[in-house]
Structure 1
């Protein structure tokens, strides 16, 4: 029997009364367990097996799939489940982490990233910016290591820089000839890419970005995923639809925007 802290990535019905629950745990990484009777409204496992729930889980491990015996809810992530935009971005984050993680393999930093991201969204930080953080920080887990602290070709740390999809990193102005399709970036954009890649979410605070800035950052990181990682996520299709039809979202009070 093991007691692990974790977050529910997904929960699917199994038979008339059961659920198969995929958790990402602090101690053991991603794992799947059978929650018997969890579909029954009166079940003590009904609440703890809802997607996004942060809890403490008692799991009996066997040769195959484990069994979820009981759980204690640490945070229900109520705001995420009640807000359409928060749900959409949180769904994208958990699907991305789920797809890039192997069962029973603990990868350093991923649980903390998932925990901080969902809690930040639940505390009503900008979900689009939080999702961007996760996308950039999961690239190394996918086997992609962008070079963001120096020129990918010559190693220079000073000068004008651009982003190269060919080199998956920065090129200084002396090396622009290496990639004819590079994207010019401003010093502010360079700083943001480094921030997204290296700074933990909990150290950022309530970072507010202009929509054009988020779109630029999103274009770069999603091109890397499309061309280098090659995964297609169902939740991303819904996000794209949501972003193209913002009128679907209820109007919210806008925070004062920083010029970034």
Structure 2
């Protein structure tokens, strides 16, 4: 039996038979790993608190034929504030889900691990989670090689931004008015929205809530990133859709 240690963030989990759970972990050392935590659903399990989604945990894993298994684990950071607030829990679930869908098993990237860990820490303290999550989305797609082009038209190369910019998910960036494709979903992206998106990439994640952004530009960025990520992942974000439904119900 081969044992190995990893430092990991629990992306998600689902219950198996006999009180077991299958965990999806993003580890610093080995990238994405799936492992079984035996008996962890039982109230008496000592591992229970350290294997919840969003936890930052040290694991001792045992290699298995199909799935590895959790031999030991000790939580480093549990992030209780994320579970106490529906908005924060939804944003955290969106972020961990993105990392799960956009990364392959067994391909470590310490920058992605550090980005996700930073996000969870910032979410617990931020007053503007919407702006923080947009920054996270941009940084994550950049690390994965999908950074949207924001310096000119992706089609003709015309220098931008001007007053009438559009964002094309399929083109991966801005397009000018003359290069728009009839019948294809493209989204207005004003000069302010372009500037804010660049700032979200340049500023530290913990400081982006200081960026001044109008409601109009914020709405444009939200729509652009929602549609771009939908195009990349071929699905909408379940946690964010749920959050929007709750907000609509309250209003």
Work out whether the TM-score is over 0.5: yes
Provide the C-alpha distance between the structure 2 equivalents of 1:246 and 1:141, rounded to a whole number of angstroms: 36
Where do residues 49-198 of structure 1 align in structure 2 (5 Å cutoff)?
A: 49-107=51-109, 109-140=111-142, 144-157=146-159, 160=162, 162-165=165-168, 167-171=171-175, 175-179=176-180, 183-197=187-201
1:46, CA displacement in angstroms? 0.8
Judged with a 3 Å threshold, the aligned counterparts in structure 2 of structure 1 residues 53 and 108 are, in CA distance, closer, same or farther, namely closer
Q: Which structure 2 segments of 5+ residues have no match?
A: none
| Aligned 8 A contact 1:151 1:169 in 2 | yes
Name the SS of the counterpart of 1:47 in structure 2. helix
How many matched pairs?
244
Provide the C-alpha distance between the structure 1 equivalents of 2:238 and 2:187, rounded to a whole number of angstroms: 28
| Aligned 8 A contact 2:12 2:25 in 1 | yes
TM-score of the aligned structures, taking structure 1 as reference length: 0.81
Name the SS of the counterpart of 2:49 in structure 1. coil
Q: Deviations over 1:222-253 (max 9, x none)?
A: 22233454223322320221342455xxxxxx
Name the SS of the counterpart of 2:226 in structure 1. helix
Judged with a 3 Å threshold, the aligned counterparts in structure 2 of structure 1 residues 159 and 25 are, in CA distance, closer, same or farther, namely closer
| Aligned 8 A contact 2:62 2:71 in 1 | yes
Query: Could you tell which deviates more after superposition, 136-145 or 45-54?
Result: 136-145
**Aligned equivalent of 1:213:** 217
**Aligned equivalent of 1:13:** 15
| Aligned 8 A contact 1:81 1:87 in 2 | yes
1:101, CA displacement in angstroms? 1.8
| Aligned 8 A contact 1:17 1:37 in 2 | yes
Matched, 1:239 2:243: yes
Q: Deviations over 1:21-55 (max 9, x none)?
A: 11111111111111112112221211111111112
Judged with a 3 Å threshold, the aligned counterparts in structure 2 of structure 1 residues 62 and 34 are, in CA distance, closer, same or farther, namely same
**Aligned equivalent of 1:25:** 27
Name the SS of the counterpart of 2:42 in structure 1. coil
Matched, 1:224 2:228: yes
Give RMSD over aligned pairs: 2.7
| Aligned 8 A contact 1:149 1:194 in 2 | no
Name the SS of the counterpart of 1:59 in structure 2. strand
Judged with a 3 Å threshold, the aligned counterparts in structure 2 of structure 1 residues 179 and 237 are, in CA distance, closer, same or farther, namely same
